[in-house]
């Protein structure tokens, strides 16, 4: 049995939840999000809590049980407090700045990299070597962070590049004479 799936999801204060068939909707101060639960899973809204249960005892239903519960929990967290990812830039001359609706990155190429900020995500640069990505949709925030990191992933010799905050980079030793 799924240990995660058994836990009910409380509807946070300041947010409203509705269950319409297989679709769960959350509305809160940070926006509105919805998730369509797979057919193998039954969703109920009872006394301020959302309960997720499998309809049958199949392998697929048990697999989707914990996933569905976590996805619904992410909706509740997203509309109330939101999600954030922090990226760090390391390297001589590497920097980032926000210009209008674009993130401009200087990453050692012959040109600056311009990344258009998608709707629903906010990007700020508290320092030229720090990028803060915030939004209500956890998947979208993670995807934007991955796309920015993809421009110059950290290399193992000097550690230069764009990395997640707190990410460990396995360092290699250079050539010996």
Q: Which fold has domain 3-80?
A: Outer Surface Protein A; domain 3 (3.90.930)
The tens digit of pLDDT for each residue in 156-173 reads 999 899 999 999 999 999
- Range(s) of the chain covered by CATH 3.90.930.12: 3-80, 83-164
Q: Average pLDDT, stretch 34-49?
A: 91
Query: What local confidence, expressed as pLDDT, does residue 1 receive?
Result: 60
The CATH class for the domain spanning 83-164 reads: alpha beta
The tens digit of pLDDT for each residue in 80-114 reads 999 999 999 999 999 999 999 999 999 999 999 99
Q: Structure pTM?
A: 0.88
Percentage, residues of the chain above pLDDT 70 = 99
123, 117 contact by CB (below 8 A): yes
- Give the residue among 127, 36, 32 at the shortest CA–CA distance from 86: 127
Q: Is the model's pLDDT at 175 over the cut of 90?
A: no
Q: Average pLDDT, stretch 103-131?
A: 94
Long-range interactions of 140-143: CB distance < 8 A, separation 24+: 141/83, 141/84, 141/85, 142/83, 142/85
Q: Is the model's pLDDT at 5 over the cut of 90?
A: no
User: For all residues of the chain together, what is the average pLDDT?
Assistant: 92
Query: What local confidence, expressed as pLDDT, does residue 2 receive?
Result: 65
Q: Average pLDDT, stretch 55-59?
A: 90
Q: Which residue carries 């990155």 as its tokens? A: 105
């Amino acid at each position: 049995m799924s240990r995660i799936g058994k836990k009910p999801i409380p509807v946070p204060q300041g947010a409203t939840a509705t269950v319409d068939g297989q679709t769960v909707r959350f509305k809160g101060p940070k926006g509105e999000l919805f998730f369509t639960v797979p057919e193998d899973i039954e969703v109920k809204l009872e006394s301020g809590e959302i309960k997720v249960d499998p309809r049958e005892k199949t392998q697929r239903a048990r697999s989707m049980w914990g996933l569905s519960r976590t996805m619904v929990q992410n909706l509740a967290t997203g509309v109330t407090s939101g999600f954030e990812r922090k990226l760090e830039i390391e390297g001589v001359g590497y920097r980032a700045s926000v210009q209008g609706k674009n993130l401009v990155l200087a990453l050692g190429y012959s040109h600056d990299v311009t990344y258009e900020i998608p709707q629903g995500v906010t990007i700020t640069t508290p320092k030229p070597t720090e990028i803060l990505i915030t939004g209500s949709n956890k998947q979208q925030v993670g995807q934007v962070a991955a796309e920015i990191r993809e421009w110059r992933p950290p290399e193992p010799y000097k550690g230069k590049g764009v990395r997640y905050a707190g990410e460990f980079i396995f360092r290699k030793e250079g050539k010996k004479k």
